[in-house]
Amino acid sequence: GDSVTQMEGPVTLSEEAFLTINCTYTATGYPSLFWYVQYPGEGLQLLLKATKADDKGSNKGFEATYRKETTSFHLEKGSVQVSDSAVYFCALSDNNQGGKLIFGQGTELSVKP
Amino acid sequence: KAGVTQTPRYLIKTRGQQVTLSCSPISGHRSVSWYQQTPGQGLQFLFEYFSETQRNKGNFPGRFSGRQFSNSRSEMNVSTLELGDSALYLCASSGTAGGYGYTFGSGTRLTVV
C-alpha cells in the first residue's frame, strides 16, 4: 500500500541555519503531497502542498518540490527561526481514495537561538 | 471564519466505557475525516465522511464508529474502551471531496484509565 517515510528526528539547528527534512513516498497512483506542521498542544496546520509532478509548494519561507522520478518531497528553508520549532509531517493523498491522508512518522525540529 | 471545532478538548474515561467525540467543520465544508495520533503509531486514518456517507475507512476495529449529520457535523464513538485507545483524536474538514488541503482541529485528548 501507499506509504510515506521521513527522516528521523529530532533535528536540532541554530537560528538562521539551513533546513532540509527528507521525505520519500510510495504510491501506486499520482498522489497529492503535503507538509503539515504541529506546534505543541495543537492540531496540524497545512504548511504547503503540491498536486502534480514538478510542482513547487511554498509558504512562510518553506519550500518543497514534487519529484516523481525520485518519489520525494523534501522540505527546505533557507534560514530557520526559533519560532519554527515544531513537529513536521509529510503526507500524501491518493486522489482515488478521497480525503484519506497517509502520514510519515513526523520529524521534530528544535531551533536554538 | 471559524476553524474546525472539536469538543471536548480533554477527556478521561475508564476502561470498558464508551465515548463520543464531536467535530464541527468549517462552514460549507462537507468532507470530514478523523485521525488517531499516538506516540507509537503516529497519525492513523480512522474514517472519512462526505455528505453523510462514509467514503473511506481505516484499519481499526469495529469498536470505532462515526457518523455525519446533515449540517456536516460529525461524531465518532469508541465503545468498550481499552487502555491503548488513549490518544489525540484529530478531526479535519475540507471543502472538496479530495485531500486538497484539509484543515485540522486542535483535537480531543482521550485518556483511558
Q: Sorting pLDDT into bands at 50, 70 and 90, what band is B95?
A: confident
Cβ–Cβ below 8 Å for B98 and A95: yes
Measured CB to CB, residues of chain A less than 8 Å from chain B are 32, 34, 36, 41-46, 49, 51, 89, 93, 95, 97-106
How many Å from the N-terminal Cα to the C-terminal Cα in chain A? 41
Q: pLDDT tens digits, residue range B32-88?
A: 999 999 998 999 999 999 989 998 899 999 999 999 999 999 999 999 999 999 999
Q: pLDDT tens digits, residue range A67-111?
A: 999 999 999 999 999 999 999 999 998 866 667 899 999 999 999
Alpha-carbon gap, residue A62 to A56, rounded angstroms: 10
- pLDDT surpassing 80 at residue A13: yes
What is the secondary structure of B1-64 as a DSSP string? ----EEE-SEEEE-TT--EEEEEEPPTT--EEEEEEEETTTEEEEEEEEETTEEEEE-S--TTE
| Mean pLDDT to the nearest integer, B93-112 | 83
For residue A104, the chain B residues in CB contact (below 8 A) are: 42
Of A32, A45, A100, the CB nearest to B100: A32
Q: At residue B68, what are phi and psi to the nearest 5 degrees?
A: -130, 140
Alpha-carbon gap, residue B84 to B110, rounded angstroms: 10
Whether the Cβ atoms of residue B108 and residue B36 lie closer than 8 Å to each other: no
Whether the Cβ atoms of residue A64 and residue A75 lie closer than 8 Å to each other: yes
